């Protein structure tokens, strides 16, 4: 099954979700999708006395009306279906969005999830985390995060001219799986294939009690050689799949370096693997930082689920 076969896009009727829907439809067209499902999560309503029969009845009536209205609004957002080459469905699920959207996308048989978000820069990055960030440890599918950023270019326009992608390769993670999944997704949704830059960020900590400078230099050299060999192998994998590819090893904070390379290379897409779960404070938080700061779309690949399930 191709990555773009069944694209699921989550909407909450905000401007970012409207922009995300347009971009998802663009991806569906470019990737030759067979089906696109528009998904809305209806938050649960909790009221005092909700267990009383009359209150339950009124809540049921209210939810039915909201569900009907949501379906109507989703159809209006999608617009005229003339010329579409894929089937389009609309669905409402109940529950907290960060929990039910990833689960529903998986249960629907989705192959790619798309969500919209506000890019947050400066002081705004310290505000409460978004629903998208809360989804990261729960993702089951490759997920395209589509920001309504500060660069004035909507994500559907960026994806139409997608000529370069920056791919973050974690030297401590399963680099082969991330690279393989990235190649599959890019080959499936972008034609012709974009050029790619693989970037690995190495931050070598020196133990504070280690005073032998020659030993420290030797350890650093061994680590850098190992990382270079890994990155060379991943570069060869992309070249064998007919991608134009180069690679960079950087030092510093992962999110800052990945964003810096993407900006310097004029990338229209950043690709990152995430392991979620117990590793959320490591890989997950890095993906969250990149999503907060990126003006371009970010493709998140939940490698842990794919390895466990497949």
* pLDDT value of position 15: 86
Q: How large is the average pLDDT for residues 168-172?
A: 87
Which residue's structure tokens are 């466990």?
A: 308
Residue 228 inside a domain? The answer is: yes
Spatial distance between the Cα atoms of 301 and 272, rounded to a whole number of angstroms: 6
- Tokens representing 159 are 């994806």
Spatial distance between the Cα atoms of 129 and 280, rounded to a whole number of angstroms: 14
* pLDDT value of position 145: 93
Evaluate whether 101 touches 62 at the Cβ level (below 8 Å).
no
Region for residue 79 given its phi and psi (left: phi exceeds 0; alpha: psi -120 to 50; beta: otherwise):
left
Q: For 210, list phi and psi in degrees, rounded to 5.
A: -90, 110
- Tokens representing 99 are 């929990």
pLDDT tens by residue, 222-248: 878 888 999 999 999 999 999 999 999
pTM: 0.86
* pLDDT value of position 104: 97
Where helices occur in the chain by DSSP H, the ranges are: 15-30, 53-78, 97-107, 131-135, 155-160, 175-189, 213-240, 254-264, 285-293, 303-309
Q: How large is the average pLDDT for residues 16-21?
A: 90
Spatial distance between the Cα atoms of 144 and 271, rounded to a whole number of angstroms: 9
Residue 48 inside a domain? The answer is: yes
Residue 1 inside a domain? The answer is: no
Three-state DSSP class for residue 108:
coil
Is the pLDDT confidence value at 102 over 80?
Answer: yes
Using alpha carbons, list the distances in angstroms from residue 136 to 36, 96, 111, 236: 22, 14, 16, 29
Percentage of the chain exceeding pLDDT 90? 49
Spatial distance between the Cα atoms of 16 and 29, rounded to a whole number of angstroms: 20
pLDDT tens by residue, 286-305: 888 898 889 899 999 987 54
Residue 238 inside a domain? The answer is: yes
* pLDDT value of position 47: 56
Evaluate whether 164 touches 267 at the Cβ level (below 8 Å).
yes
pLDDT tens by residue, 185-221: 999 888 899 999 999 998 755 555 455 567 667 767 7
Residue 121 inside a domain? The answer is: yes
Evaluate whether 142 touches 302 at the Cβ level (below 8 Å).
yes
Percentage of the chain exceeding pLDDT 70? 82
Evaluate whether 49 touches 38 at the Cβ level (below 8 Å).
no
Evaluate whether 232 touches 224 at the Cβ level (below 8 Å).
no
- Tokens representing 29 are 């067209």
Spatial distance between the Cα atoms of 251 and 161, rounded to a whole number of angstroms: 30
Work out the mean pLDDT of the chain and round it to a whole number: 83
CB atoms within 10 A of CB 218: 11
Residue 145 inside a domain? The answer is: yes
Residue 176 inside a domain? The answer is: yes
What is the extent of the structural domain holding 52?
Answer: 6-309
pLDDT tens by residue, 34-65: 999 999 999 876 655 556 677 677 777 888 89
Burial class of residue 143, CB neighbours in 10 A (0-12, 13-18, 19+): buried
- How many separate domains does the chain show? 1
* pLDDT value of position 157: 86
pLDDT tens by residue, 104-133: 999 999 999 999 887 554 434 333 457 888
Cα dihedral 245/193/115/109 (nearest 10): -110
What is the CATH classification number for the domain harbouring 151?
3.40.50.12370
pLDDT tier at 282 (50, 70, 90 boundaries)?
very low
Is the pLDDT confidence value at 279 over 50?
Answer: no
């Amino acid at each position: 099954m191709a990555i773009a076969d069944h694209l699921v896009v989550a909407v909450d009727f905000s401007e970012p979700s409207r922009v995300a829907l347009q971009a998802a439809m663009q991806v569906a067209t470019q990737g030759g999708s067979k089906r696109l499902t528009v998904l809305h999560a209806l938050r649960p309503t909790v009221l005092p006395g909700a267990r009383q029969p009359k209150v339950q009845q009124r809540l049921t009536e209210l939810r039915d009306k909201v569900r009907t209205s949501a379906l109507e609004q989703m159809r209006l957002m999608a617009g005229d279906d003339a010329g579409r080459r894929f089937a389009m469905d609309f669905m409402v699920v109940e529950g907290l969005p960060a929990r039910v959207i990833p689960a529903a996308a998986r249960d629907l048989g989705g192959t790619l999830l798309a969500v919209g978000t506000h890019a947050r820069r400066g002081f705004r990055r310290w505000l409460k985390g978004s629903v998208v960030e809360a989804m990261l440890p729960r993702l089951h599918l490759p997920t395209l995060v589509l920001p309504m950023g500060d660069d004035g270019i909507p994500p559907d326009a960026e994806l139409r001219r997608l000529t370069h992608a920056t791919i973050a390769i974690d030297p401590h993670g399963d680099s082969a799986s991330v690279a393989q999944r990235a190649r599959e997704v890019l080959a499936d949704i972008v034609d012709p294939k974009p050029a790619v830059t693989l970037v690995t960020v190495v931050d070598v900590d020196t133990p504070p009690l280690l005073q032998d400078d020659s030993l420290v230099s030797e350890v650093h050299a061994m680590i850098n050689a190992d990382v270079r060999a890994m990155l060379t192998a991943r570069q060869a994998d992309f070249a064998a799949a007919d991608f134009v590819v180069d690679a960079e090893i950087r030092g510093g904070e992962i999110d800052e370096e990945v964003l810096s390379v993407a900006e310097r290379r004029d990338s229209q897409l950043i690709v990152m693997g995430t392991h979620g779960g117990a590793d959320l404070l490591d890989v997950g938080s890095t993906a969250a930082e990149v999503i907060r700061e990126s003006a371009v779309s970010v493709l998140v690949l939940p490698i842990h689920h794919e390895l466990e399930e497949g």
